[in-house]
Amino acid sequence: MDKDSAGAVAASSIPGAGTSAIVPSDRAALWEHLTDGFLGAPGVQPGKALGSPALTVEGKIFVASLPDGMMAKLPATRIDELVASGVGSRMLNAGRPMREWIVLPSTPAAVVRWPEIATEALQFVGEQHRAASAPRWGEGEIRSRRGAPRPRGTSAE
């Protein structure tokens, strides 16, 4: 892995990786570098998770900083792939593995994947939010027997 004089690791230019192609080697700088690329995205805000800095989309956490790395929310099948390839490990809650959360270490090999995985997490959590906020059958307008909308409070004839 190539490092510069400040001990930074060269990263690929993945959308969401911030403006620099260098990933700093200390934890606070790593997190700041990662968040710089996401804070301008629609609905993304800084937050907290487990007492550490996190990023949220529409109020839902998609990535968070950890003392020894980063955690991200992804589909369970993607977590299985990443764990099987040795990229990270499942997040544990009271010793039980969490289905949709992965922990990525702050090793140089993992750090270069943080922006890519954080981008996937943003898309996944954003899609979950959009699906949850979409109207469901039976909500909203009342429909007549012929399927035409009618105002609430009126009866079908």
Q: What is the pLDDT of residues 27-70, one digit of tens each?
A: 778 888 888 888 888 889 999 998 889 999 989 999 999 888 89
Residues β-bridged to residue 60: 57
Break the chain into its structural domains and give their ranges. 9-132
**What's the pTM?**
0.68
Return mean pLDDT, the chain. Answer: 76
Cα 39 → chain centroid: 12
Cα distances (Å, whole numbers) of residue 92 to 49, 86, 89, 100: 14, 16, 9, 11
Q: 51-84 in b/e burial notation, b at 16+ Cβ within 10 A?
A: eebbbbbbeebbbbbbeebbbbbbeeebbeebee
Measured distance CA(89)–CA(15) in Å, rounded: 24
Q: Looking at domain 9-132, which CATH architecture does it have?
A: 2-Layer Sandwich (3.30)
pLDDT at 142 over 60: no
* Per-residue pLDDT tens over the stretch 81-103: 999 999 999 998 889 999 999 99
